Amino acid sequence: MSSLKDILSQLKLSVMNIPHIGIVDIIDILIVAYLIYIVITWIKDTRAWALFKGLFVVFSVAIIAYVFHLNTVWWILSNAISVGIIAVFVVFQPEFRRALEQIGRGNLFTSFMIFEDQREKDEAISKSTIEAIVKAVEHMSEYKTGALIVIEKDVKLGDYERTGIMIDAIVTAQLLINIFEHNTPLHDGAVIIKNNRISAATCYLPLTDSLEISKELGTRHRAALGVSEVSDAITIVVSEETGTISVTQSGSLTRNIKGEFIRTLLTDAPNKKAEKKKRVLWKGRNKHE
Ligand SMILES: Nc1ncnc2c1ncn2[C@@H]1O[C@H](COP(=O)(O)OP(=O)(O)OP(=O)(O)O)[C@@H](O)[C@H]1O
């Protein structure tokens, strides 16, 4: 109770002592706000987003612990945060380096502005996208065309998209088949599908270092398993050697599957935002009943 009183009296004091705000201060605040906005939108497209949300929770708990004098919690969190900040710079060193390089080339702000308009809402995988993927995968399996297709869900794959060539096209079976056609410029690497569009091709994915994966499987399957370990994406692989279809999700690989398996898997895999939207609609319906 006394803490609340302290806060209120401090608030009163700070309200009474508001310094004069000039035009320079307003410009200063606007620049900082804009920079924070850019950094947050940039982080949203990288794998650092989940970590950023985790940090936000830790900071919030630390502030609550500080305000309400929860000394032990505050001591643990304040120490963890100081070590954690150094750890963040070590773990995300490649992302920071890339951002600095982009600033150096003057790309960060311009690319941010260009792509802002194109940013789409997170959507569930549509029926036509599922059918196009199934058709293409079955065809490539029959003709033993090697393929690697990653379907993004809630964890953003911007880091991996940037390693490839941007496409941004509607998902059709013909386009997927064409991309993976031997001896064409786009056939190497992975295709990333997000928001029902083929966003990029020739993407380089992280390879798993799991020892459990069969020795007869090469880097295409290792890359599929690797991306499933660092994200919630669903990845489909067609083997060039045998034509067999496999799928990876949450760090596990399922081999020798058929098109119907992919259809069921993708139909049952709406992302969190789509689920939320569905729940809101459902609530609305209940209200009207
Ligand atoms: N890190 C990676 N990210 C994306 N694609 C990759 C990666 N590494 C390899 N590939 C793709 O996999 C192909 C090589 O496949 P490789 O023969 O080594 O794998 P595999 O698992 O045995 O598959 P297959 O049964 O089709 O031969 C490359 O040409 C490239 O297209």
Same domain, 48 and 134: no
Same domain, 61 and 163: no
Structure token pair of residue 133: 């993927």
Question: Into how many domains does the chain fold?
Answer: 2
Within 8 A by CB and 6+ apart from 169, the residues are 175, 197, 198
Same domain, 207 and 261: yes
CA 74 to chain centroid, in Å, comes to: 31
220 lines ligand 1 (CB under 6 A): yes
Same domain, 224 and 154: yes
Give the integer Cα–Cα distance in Å for 213 and 253.
8
223 lines ligand 1 (CB under 6 A): yes
The residue to which tokens 């508001």 are assigned: 18
182 lines ligand 1 (CB under 6 A): no
What spacing in Å lies between the alpha carbon of 179 and ligand 1's midpoint? 15
186 lines ligand 1 (CB under 6 A): no
Which residue out of 220, 229, 235 has the highest number of ligand 1 atoms within 8 Å of its CB and is therefore the one to mutate?
Answer: 220
Same domain, 140 and 266: yes
204 lines ligand 1 (CB under 6 A): yes
Same domain, 178 and 232: yes
Beta strands in 135-287 (DSSP E): 147-151, 165-170, 190-194, 197-203, 234-238, 245-249, 252-257
Q: What is the ipTM of this complex?
A: 0.94
- pLDDT in single tens digits along all 289 residues of the chain: 455 567 667 766 666 666 677 888 899 999 999 888 887 777 776 667 777 777 788 888 888 988 888 889 888 888 887 787 788 778 777 777 767 766 665 655 555 544 444 444 556 889 999 999 999 999 999 999 999 999 999 888 988 998 999 999 999 999 999 999 988 999 999 999 999 999 999 999 999 888 888 888 899 999 999 999 888 899 999 999 999 999 999 889 999 999 999 999 998 876 555 555 555 444 444 444 4
Residue 30 lies in a domain: yes
Same domain, 90 and 156: no
Residue nearest to atom 1 of ligand 1 (CA): 205
Amino acid 288: pLDDT: 42
Same domain, 202 and 82: no
Give the integer Cα–Cα distance in Å for 178 and 198.
13
207 lines ligand 1 (CB under 6 A): yes
Q: Nearest Cα to 108, choosing from 121, 125, 90, 95?
A: 95
* For the CA of 240, the nearest atom of ligand 1: 26
Asked whether 89 and 240 are in contact (CB, 8 A), the reply is no
What spacing in Å lies between the alpha carbon of 112 and ligand 1's midpoint? 32
* For the CA of 188, the nearest atom of ligand 1: 31
Give the integer Cα–Cα distance in Å for 179 and 162.
17
Amino acid 16: pLDDT: 65
CA 259 to chain centroid, in Å, comes to: 26
Amino acid 287: pLDDT: 43
Residue 7 lies in a domain: no
Residue 284 lies in a domain: no
Provide the domain limits for residue 136.
Answer: 127-278
Residue 34 lies in a domain: yes
